[in-house]
A and B are shown apart, each in its own frame.
Chain A
Amino acid sequence: MECVFGLVGDGFAIVAADTSAVHSILVHKNNEDKIMVLDSHKLIAASGEPGDRVQFTEYVQKNVSLYQFRNGIPLTTAAAANFTRGELATALRKNPYSVNILMAGYDKEAGASLYYIDYIATLHKVDKGAFGYGSYFSLSTMDRHYRSDMSVEEAIELVDKCILEIRSRLVIAPPNFVIKIVDKDGAREHAWRQSVQDVTTASL
């Protein structure tokens, strides 16, 4: 039910995630931000069990900060992705985390990159990736329209196409999404796409 997807463009990487916090048939919250800013130039979009998602991504964030404090320089995106995968792998046969992660980052040498890390500690560097039921719709849409030299505007158009497809074709589609971007100027929130604001009938 949780939809996360992302792609790499010309000097930037974009990730989008739905913002519903769901428990069985109940939607507790529809503006929950699931894309964590790891450091100045890295983003983690995570989907999975609520406790695991927050606890594991915060654990990764604090370890990435610790490395920077100890060594004076930040980790590269590749190193952070490999660290994350290593932690998932170590826990896998003991106390596994049910979290799927798309890690997006920008490094001066490597440029923009996107890493696909799933809950059983698979790691792939990819141009585009997606998790959840939404991936059935967003992956083919991205495959069709993606080009490696896309500009930010074109990439946002593609992301909106995917969101529209998910909203119209997925049976219990999440109504709201958040889009975040990382490029040479850093990681930041780009936009929200909300079809259900938190407006109650009383204030209509």
Chain B
Amino acid sequence: MFLIGFLYLASQSVKKIIEINPYMLGTMAGGAADCQFWHRNLGIKCRLHELANKRRISVSGASKLLANMLYSYRGMGLSVGTMIAGWDETGPGLYYVDNEGGRLKGDRFSVGSGSPYAYGVLDSGYKFDMSVEEASELARRSIYHATFRDGASGGVASVYHVGPNGWTKLSGDDVGELHYHYYPVPPAIAEQVMEEAAAE
């Protein structure tokens, strides 16, 4: 993550996937404080909706609430690039929402400074009917390749699965270790070995 205006890496161990409620997740890109605050605020509004209407809020509704909130602060320097992922009566839903108030519905998105790199891997491997294992590996690989090229991306690649009964965390791998997992270093063959000289 980084602050607007200059590059500042504060921590490599920040949780970038925010659990809004047991069946909805939000991702964090842009300003960490803004994302954390507004996602928590969205969680509050979603819970109030449940209490007032006696039913869960839809992913479309939740993302619209967030987009409207962010739109009312446009021009004031918020930095939020997020995806709202969840499951409702219409099935799985994925929305992209940003601080300019833009909101897009789609099958796949990538957000943040490393997003073009991630798109490259994501687009070449994506099929709508892929299995959960394939999708989770594709997601992990896309994050890895983005962090490889983008200086402001890194840390831990977390993968979550959102199903009809809510979300579960599938994996959280340190990207540095993922590198050697995908591209192991072949053991070097020593041509010359320095050994203890035999005692004269």
Contact = CB atoms under 8 A, between A and B. Distances in A.
B100 A28 contact: no
A202 B104 contact: no
Contacts of A201: 123-124
A55 B125 contact: no
A201 B122 CA distance: 10
Interface string A17-33: 00001010110110010
A26 B96 CA distance: 13
Interface in B60-89: 67-68, 70-71, 74
Given A28-B96, A202-B126, A50 B119 contact: no
Interface of A: 21, 23, 25-26, 28-29, 32, 49-52, 54-55, 198, 200-203
Contacts of B100: 49-51
Interface residues of B, number: 23
Contacts, number: 51
Given A28-B109, A50-B101, A55 B119 contact: no
Given A29-B106, A50-B103, A202-B126, 19 more contacts: A23-B98, A25-B116, A26-B115, A28-B96, A28-B104, A28-B106, A49-B100, A49-B102, A50-B101, A52-B101, A54-B103, A55-B68, A55-B71, A198-B107, A200-B127, A201-B123, A201-B124, A202-B125, A202-B127
Contacts of A21: 102, 104
Contacts of B98: 23, 50
Contact of B67 (A26, A51, A202): A51
Q: Shortest 3 CB-CB distances between A and B: which pairs?
A: A51-B101, A50-B102, A200-B126
A10 to B, nearest CB: 37
A200 B67 CA distance: 28
Contact of A26 (B101, B107, B116): B116
A47 B36 CA distance: 31
